[in-house]
Amino acid sequence: MSRIVFSLTLAATAFSAGLALAQAPDQADEIIRGRYQAILGDCSACHTAPGAKPLSGGLPLETPFGQIIPPNITPDKATGIGNWTEADFRSALKKGIGHGGKRLYPAMPYPAYTRMTDRDIGNLWSYLRTVDPVFNPVESNQLPFPFNIRLSMMGWNMLNFTPGEFQPDPSKSAEWNRGAYIVQGPGHCGTCHSPKTALGADETSEALQGGSLQGWYAPNITGNSYIGIGSWSEDQIVRYLKTGTNGHTIASGPMAEAIQASTSLMTDEDVHAIATYLKSTEGGSTQKPQPIPASDARMKVGAAIYHDTCSACHGGDGKGASQLFPALAGSSIVQQPSAETLTRLVLQGSQAVHTPAAKTTPAMPSLGWKLSDEQVAAVLTYVRNSWGNAAPSVGASDIGAQR
Amino acid sequence: MTTILPRKDAVIVGLGWTGAILAHELTEAGLDVVAIERGPWRDTATDFNIGYAQDELRYGIRRDLFLQPVVEAMTMRNNTSQTALPMRDYGSFLPGNGVGGAGVHWNGHTWRFWDSDFQIADHLRDRYGAARIQDLQLQNWGVTGAEMEKSFDRLEYLAGISGKAGNINGLIQEGGNPFEDPRSRDYPLPPLQMTYAPTLFAQVTKSLNLHPFPTPAANLSKDYINPLGIAMGQCTMCGFCERFGCANYSKSSAQTTILPVLMKKKNFEVRTESEVLHVDLDASKKHARGVTYVNTSGEEFFQPADIVLLCAYGLHNVRLMMLSGIGQIYDPNTGEGTVGRNYCYQTNAGAQVFFDDKNFNPFVAAGALGQTVDDFNGDAFDHGPLDFVGGAGINCIPSNGRPIQTRPTPPGTPRWGSDWKKATVKSYKSTLGFSSQGSSYPTRGNYLDLDPTYTDRFGRPLLRFTFDFPDNDIRMSNWVSDRMEEIAKAFGGKQYTNTRRKKGWDSVPYQSTHNTGGAIMGTDPKTSAVNKYLQSWDVANVFVIGASAFAHNAGKNPTGTVGALAFHAADAIRQQYLRNPGQPLVSA
């Protein structure tokens, strides 16, 4: 809820500030457009802590290299970016170099934001100037040596970073290009959904093919129909991004937050454009393996647990119930190479996101207290290899590692 | 020391069915609303986790979800010649506790009271003469069935009730209840798929020229999205409804129909584990300033509010009024005072038929999955030649086959030992039960007040029951039991039992959590505590919503009518009271 409230507050702030400035209608438009850029870029996801003032600094991000705390980006002069110039801001987004030449860490997704147009960045800057300044000192850099040396990012950038604005593909439709721009640029989808190199950069050759972060597995979102979203219609992708549920699945974890604060607030045209683009992408194995046979001992144990504990909601046939219980049969999310998300759902449970079109917020209960590592592994192996699903088995040690 | 909190437009005491309905309606009207709930927060996945929701020992026997006497006990006696003693454990009835209230752990029978209930005194006097009802304190409710129709409809669509209409705009519908009042449209969902026992009950009662129909159920026959946009799932018939929270989003409750929307509203807030001690009145005693409550750390708070809505369990509403000095406490000797008046209950009896050759698979069940016969309910039949008024619904609703408590044995079986064990195994699947749920009509001597001796943990007097089944109701129940015996015989089973209701209410064995009255609605401030909009006659900015408003109890479960009254009151507040706050909606 807090996110929606913030967004509404932001809208109100934008309007009142715009009117208060009353310098020119153009400027008000710019601020409103900039607010929309903040939605596309989902700034609040990282820069607003739950319950805190908008953009006044976020919760720590756990990276493989250590903790980074998203800074205060309100116009507060002492602790925010009140002393920044538009050129500083532009440089931060385009080059990863902020005010005073300070190098940013790529937890701030400047490798994606660099694709943004000058106009969009300008609008976003205008909007950020209107946010209420908040005094909140944040020491972003919590990394251990040697990662805490910001200058090291110079080398990182040389190896991993290609600055430059998005270049449209003239052979594709305007809608496709718009979708590609949002996905690669402000939407920074790959920041979660692309696998990472040893240096923490996006594995660009495997863009959008799924990545692990913060105890979740962000699934493959290419047009691959086995483990991607190729089996979803464009309308189903749109419904998912607008509402968090589409009959196939229900968003959970960080994506639930992204839907609430960002995609559900995007225009219908933009969400359609994203769907068009994602459907056209390729990546990952399309070759479904042979499912583990039902006669396998793990499958038998898994079937018994499934029927006892899971079938009341997800159905004996794994088809679920739309809006309430996600279908497991045919679900690409169930069949991802990594069972990290599934494991987390079973161990800890998860609650669906609340959007204006899907208000129920049904929840998966935690079952970690009840099922042993072996039992969780067996039931996940079962759902990954039943009703036409096929995916590698899950081992008890994988479960233990996530407890 | 009492902390004074910032003012709210409305404070709601208790966040169950009525509290949630009122909170939703008033926040829609733009009011800033806080609900104060004595029990804990409760949500489906965390509190009715599918991994343990069906724990009969924890919930069915140890009654984990219910109010415990250590929090609030009550005292009881059968008549004024006795000294009331505290119930050391709840038995005869089981009040709820926590967010969702008793709506969390109900079975889901969702009835509409009839116009002949709402206008009962006029109706019976006109039909049978004043002498017939002279021993009873029957009163009109101040509303008509037609007036309530819209509110019943709203509740049924909010809750996704599964059923079959019997009368749509005056046209009798085949397969529904022909005795019901006209409704504007059918139920939102079709009836649940019948199991064998109610199917057989329908066959047998039909052969006796009775009119069986599917019991209207808050256990959903299909997936459903209610008018608030909240999705519910089809019931899996696990048979863990009464005393249990539903793990499947399949039983209507505040949790499954309102809270997902309500809890996201900026102008709503709930404070759980906070017990309201009393409503604070100003010096005139005609205006409420707010409520005083205490949290689990013993800290006391004053919550100022323009409107106070008592939405706790009916009995708690009545006690809070008494503790707050809202209205005058009823005195059975003089007949004066209104708070505590017309306490009613339910007059039930049961029958069982034992077969050798049938298998009912009783574990396939839902709380309200069954068939009902209303031929002998209310005033659906002519009482002219009879010596009572009122009636009972006859229900075959095998709501569960839970292993600890479902142990039917035929007469002549030992109460323990290996023969008992054998008999329970033999009878578990092959026994059919049905019951009568009878009306309970008010008398001058059945009432609620404050106990002169016993107090709660805050030193406040406990609520005292003075109640026994009225002679009229005993005659009614026994007459209906005769009809049940005819039905039991017609089944052609090996043996049957037919227990009969006797005088002497006993608070120990479970009977029914349908405690009604005590803050009844009506047309006359001398004989009712609230007006037809559930507004206190004495303190105009206090509304008292729940079964406490029932001027009598019909042979039906109360929740449908409780929910409808909540909508009825909400409409009055939104459309009338807010235009002229602080004023009575009905002039005395």
- Chain A CB contacts of B44 under 8 Å are 362-363, 365
The answer to whether residue A22 scores a pLDDT higher than 70 is: no
Contact between A354 and B264 using a beta-carbon 8 Å cutoff: yes
The interface residues of chain A toward chain B in range 191-220, judged by CB-CB distance below 8 A, are: none
Indicate the average pLDDT of chain A: 90
pLDDT at B160: 98
**Range A357-372 burial, b when 16+ CB lie within 10 A, else e:** ebbbbbbbbbbbebbe
Contact between B247 and A322 using a beta-carbon 8 Å cutoff: no
Residue B524 three-state SS: coil
Contact between A360 and B260 using a beta-carbon 8 Å cutoff: yes
Q: What DSSP assignment string belongs to B278-336?
A: EEEE-TTSSSEEEEEEEETT--EEEEEEEEEEE-S-HHHHHHHHHHHT-S-B-BTTTTB
Asked, for residue B437, whether it belongs to a domain, the answer is yes
Of B228, B231, B261, the CB nearest to A324: B231
- Chain A CB contacts of B248 under 8 Å are 312-313
The interface residues of chain A toward chain B in range 299-328, judged by CB-CB distance below 8 A, are: 309, 312-313, 321-325
Asked, for residue B588, whether it belongs to a domain, the answer is no
- Chain A CB contacts of B50 under 8 Å are 309, 312-313, 365, 367
pLDDT at B116: 98
Q: What is the rounded distance in angstroms from the CA atom of residue A102 to the CA atom of residue A92?
A: 9
- Chain A CB contacts of B233 under 8 Å are 313, 321, 324-325
A104 or B30, higher pLDDT: B30
Q: Domains in chain A, please, with CATH?
A: 2-160 (no CATH), 174-280 (1.10.760), 297-402 (1.10.760.10)
pLDDT at A7: 43
DSSP H/E element including B271: strand B268-271
Asked, for residue B587, whether it belongs to a domain, the answer is no
Asked, for residue B469, whether it belongs to a domain, the answer is yes
Q: How many domains would you assign to chain B?
A: 1
pLDDT at A2: 41
- Over residues A89-109, the mean pLDDT reads 92
A147 or A336, higher pLDDT: A336
- Over residues B522-527, the mean pLDDT reads 98
Of B223, B230, B233, the CB nearest to A359: B230
The answer to whether residue B421 scores a pLDDT higher than 70 is: yes
pLDDT at A146: 81
Distances in whole angstroms, Cα of residue A276 to Cα of each of A189, A250, B418, B511: 15, 21, 71, 62
Asked, for residue B289, whether it belongs to a domain, the answer is yes
Of B50, B230, B266, the CB nearest to A360: B230
Of B43, B223, B261, the CB nearest to A321: B223
The answer to whether residue B410 scores a pLDDT higher than 50 is: yes
- A5 contacts chain B (CB < 8 A): yes
- Chain A CB contacts of B263 under 8 Å are 1
8 Å CB contact between A375 and A305: yes
Of B234, B261, B264, the CB nearest to A321: B234
pLDDT at A24: 67
Contact between B230 and A365 using a beta-carbon 8 Å cutoff: no
- Chain B CB contacts of A369 under 8 Å are 51
pLDDT tier at A322 (50, 70, 90 boundaries)? Answer: confident
Least confident of A7-21, A305-319, B200-214, B414-428: A7-21
8 Å CB contact between A209 and A220: yes
**Range A225-256 burial, b when 16+ CB lie within 10 A, else e:** ebbbbbebeeebbbbbbbbbbbbbbbbbbebb
The answer to whether residue A156 scores a pLDDT higher than 90 is: no
- Chain B CB contacts of A242 under 8 Å are none
- β-pair type (B495-498, B461-466): unpaired
pLDDT tier at A5 (50, 70, 90 boundaries)? Answer: very low
Summarised one tens digit per residue, pLDDT across range B460-514 is 999 999 999 999 999 999 999 999 999 999 999 999 999 999 999 999 999 999 9
Of B229, B248, B264, the CB nearest to A313: B248
Q: What is the rounded distance in angstroms from the CA atom of residue B196 to the CA atom of residue B359?
A: 8
pLDDT at A204: 81
Summarised one tens digit per residue, pLDDT across range B309-332 is 999 999 999 999 999 999 999 999
Chain A nearest-CA distance from B391, in A, is 39
Cα angle at A22 between A19 and A27, to 5 degrees? 90
Measured between CA atoms, the residue of chain A closest to residue B266 is A5
- A369 contacts chain B (CB < 8 A): yes
- Over residues A132-154, the mean pLDDT reads 85
Contact between A309 and B50 using a beta-carbon 8 Å cutoff: yes
- Over residues B284-288, the mean pLDDT reads 97
Contact between B45 and A360 using a beta-carbon 8 Å cutoff: no
The answer to whether residue B174 scores a pLDDT higher than 80 is: yes
Tokens of B378: 């209310």
Chain A nearest-CA distance from B242, in A, is 18
Whose CA is closest to B376, among B246, B505, B482? B482
Of A321, A358, A365, the CB nearest to B51: A365
- Over residues A114-141, the mean pLDDT reads 94
pLDDT at A349: 94
Cα angle at B245 between B400 and B363, to 5 degrees? 15
Range of the domain at B194: 2-579
- A395 contacts chain B (CB < 8 A): no
pLDDT at A23: 56
pLDDT tier at B169 (50, 70, 90 boundaries)? Answer: very high
pLDDT tier at A18 (50, 70, 90 boundaries)? Answer: very low
pLDDT at A19: 46
Contact between A362 and B52 using a beta-carbon 8 Å cutoff: no
The answer to whether residue A159 scores a pLDDT higher than 90 is: no
- Chain A CB contacts of B236 under 8 Å are 312
Indicate the average pLDDT of chain B: 97
Residue B58 DSSP one-character state: I
8 Å CB contact between B221 and B236: no
The answer to whether residue A327 scores a pLDDT higher than 90 is: yes
Summarised one tens digit per residue, pLDDT across range B462-473 is 999 999 999 999
Percent with pLDDT over 70 in chain A: 94
Measured between CA atoms, the residue of chain B closest to residue A1 is B264
Residue B434: which CATH number?
Answer: 3.50.50.60
Q: Is B123 a catalytic residue?
A: no
pLDDT at A13: 44
Summarised one tens digit per residue, pLDDT across range B327-358 is 999 999 999 999 999 999 999 999 999 999 99
pLDDT tier at A8 (50, 70, 90 boundaries)? Answer: very low
Measured between CA atoms, the residue of chain A closest to residue B261 is A359
The answer to whether residue A130 scores a pLDDT higher than 90 is: yes
Burial class (CB in 10 A: 0-12, 13-18, 19+), B99: buried
Contact between A5 and B266 using a beta-carbon 8 Å cutoff: yes
pLDDT tier at B579 (50, 70, 90 boundaries)? Answer: very high
The answer to whether residue A182 scores a pLDDT higher than 70 is: yes
Asked, for residue B32, whether it belongs to a domain, the answer is yes
Q: What is the rounded distance in angstroms from the CA atom of residue B40 to the CA atom of residue B64?
A: 12
| Interface residues from chain B to A (CB-CB < 8 Å) | 43-46, 49-52, 223, 225, 228-234, 236, 238, 247-249, 260-261, 263-264, 266
The answer to whether residue A39 scores a pLDDT higher than 50 is: yes
- Over residues A18-46, the mean pLDDT reads 83
Phi-psi region of B470 (alpha: psi -120 to 50; beta: other; left: phi over 0): beta
pLDDT tier at A10 (50, 70, 90 boundaries)? Answer: very low
Summarised one tens digit per residue, pLDDT across range A376-393 is 999 999 999 999 999 999
pLDDT at A203: 83
